[in-house]
Amino acid sequence: MSKIYITRKITDTAIKALKKAGHKVSMYPHSDRQIPRKELLKNIKGCDAVLTLLTEKVDAEFFKAAGKQLKVVANYAVGFDNIDLKAAKQYDVKIGNTPCEEVNEAVSEASMTMMLALATQIVNADAFTKAGKYKTWDPMIFTGPSLVGKTLGIIGAGRIGGGLAHRAKEGFGIKIVYNNPQRNPEFEKMYGAKFMTKEQLLKVSDFVSLHVPLLASTRHLISTKEFKLMKKTAYLINTARGPVVDEKALILALKRNQIAGAALDVYENEPALDADPSDNISLRDKDIINKLIMTPHTASATIEAREKMAQIASGNIINALKGKKMISEVV
């Protein structure tokens, strides 16, 4: 019997699978808060496996606290920028993640929803109506652009970017342009997409949606220079990773009306909603708040995606403890 710790309350699917495999499972009992670092390091001591979230920093200190018997860390996420892969190799710990079509579909759907919400101003209109401000039909309020015939710039032509391109093109007749480290002929053929440099894409797009991993090369991929290139009527959507966008530059771009608005599901200093909480500059500034849609990192929050992620994460642990290849192995 192996000892397994889960760092946040998640769907019962993972717990049941791990217990059925004969393992002893314990878990931080809350889903709405991050486990304190001190408590995390104490609770993983002596564990053979740990199921983590993106909120947990998995580094040398983590591996040392767990002990030499630790064999696997299964990240309940597609991304793994919270994990020090060099340290994992040094401590000989296997790392798994949870990529799946269910997550791809969920994030594609969320990105499309954000495009629609930005264009229709449905969030502002909802708040206006609930506040009792609707007194008479007004033809001049909450007007926005039609999606039909517009240009969507997708940065990152992977499965999620492809899912968004499909929805945008087939559902609304939107023109697709894209940027990617390498040209993707299949992406171009399937969605009638045109490859462009990032600069070209920013100049022509009515909507720009980001679908790249967080790497040294993608940190602040969108910053002051990029906002200056965008149309004043354009919108930015980020369902990828917070630090891909320079939040201070975004705030200034919105204040200066360099772009029309943005939708964010991720933040530079998550869970803080501002890159530097000590600054006076904030995403919640009254001058820009109506130009923003903000959600709490829930782009992949479908029942199907969460269940599949739990199946993969628990399967990664079960396989690794048996000495077998994980379902999805990072290192």
Overall average pLDDT of the 268-286 stretch = 88
Q: What is the pLDDT at residue 177?
A: 98
Question: Which of 133, 89, 150 is CA-nearest to residue 330?
Answer: 89
Q: What is the pLDDT at residue 95?
A: 98
Phi-psi region of 182 (alpha: psi -120 to 50; beta: other; left: phi over 0): beta
The H or E element containing residue 51 is strand 49-52
Q: What is the pLDDT at residue 277?
A: 74
pTM given for the model: 0.93
Question: Mean pLDDT score of the chain, rounded to an integer?
Answer: 96
Q: What is the pLDDT at residue 331?
A: 86
Confidence bin at 200 (pLDDT 50/70/90): very high
Q: At what angle do helices 12-20 and 303-321 cross, to 10 degrees?
A: 20
**Among residues of the chain, what percentage have pLDDT more than 70?**
100
Q: What is the pLDDT at residue 98?
A: 97
Residue for token pair 């790392």: 95
Q: What is the pLDDT at residue 139?
A: 95
- The one-character DSSP state at 327 is S
Note the pLDDT tens digit of each residue in 208-240: 999 999 999 999 999 999 999 999 999 999 999
Look at residue 71 and tell me whether its pLDDT is greater than 90. yes
Positions of E strands within 117-255: 151-155, 175-179, 194-195, 207-210, 235-238
What is the Cα–Cα distance from 195 to 40, expressed in whole angstroms? 45
- Looking at CATH, the fold of the domain delimited by 3-97+303-321 is given as Rossmann fold (3.40.50)
**Fold match flag (3-97+303-321 vs 102-294):** yes
Residues 102-294: name the CATH superfamily.
Answer: NAD(P)-binding Rossmann-like Domain (3.40.50.720)
Q: Kind of pairing, strands 151-155 and 94-96?
A: unpaired
Look at residue 280 and tell me whether its pLDDT is greater than 90. no
Q: pLDDT: is 171 or 279 the higher one?
A: 171
Contact assessment for residue 195 and residue 167, using Cβ atoms and an 8 Å cutoff: no
- Residues recognised as catalytic: 241, 270, 297
Q: What is the pLDDT at residue 275?
A: 86
Confidence bin at 312 (pLDDT 50/70/90): very high
Look at residue 278 and tell me whether its pLDDT is greater than 80. no
Q: What is the pLDDT at residue 26?
A: 97
Amino acid sitting at position 162: G
Hey, where are the domains in the chain? Answer: 3-97+303-321, 102-294
